[in-house]
Amino acid sequence: ASESVTQARQLLAGEPRYGSQLVDDLAAHPALAITPGTVYPLLARLRKAGLVISDRRGMNVFHRVKPEALQALCVVLDPNCCT
């Protein structure tokens, strides 16, 4: 898999993050950089598609990928990831 795919997979598999944390984490990887105006609609689409779980904790909403969705994504992005 490409470096950007590997980085994205590692970020998605990590601890739940709120939106601005995702933006900051992705900014550390230029190939994955995303703006706040892009990340929130993207999270909403992923949540609607059943790929992301969002939990409100106080004033923040934390997002995490459903484990089964991450596994399916890994297979699509890198067919050799699970062999």
Task: Provide the pLDDT for residue 58.
Answer: 92
pLDDT, tens digit, 9 for 90 and up, residues 43-69: 888 888 888 889 999 998 998 888 887
Cβ atoms 77, 1 nearer than 8 A: yes
For the segment 64-79, the average pLDDT, to the nearest whole number, is 77
Cβ atoms 32, 26 nearer than 8 A: yes
Tell me the pTM.
0.69
Q: How far apart are alpha carbons 54 and 13 in whole angstroms?
A: 14
* 6 pLDDT tier (thresholds 50, 70, 90): low
Task: Provide the pLDDT for residue 2.
Answer: 59
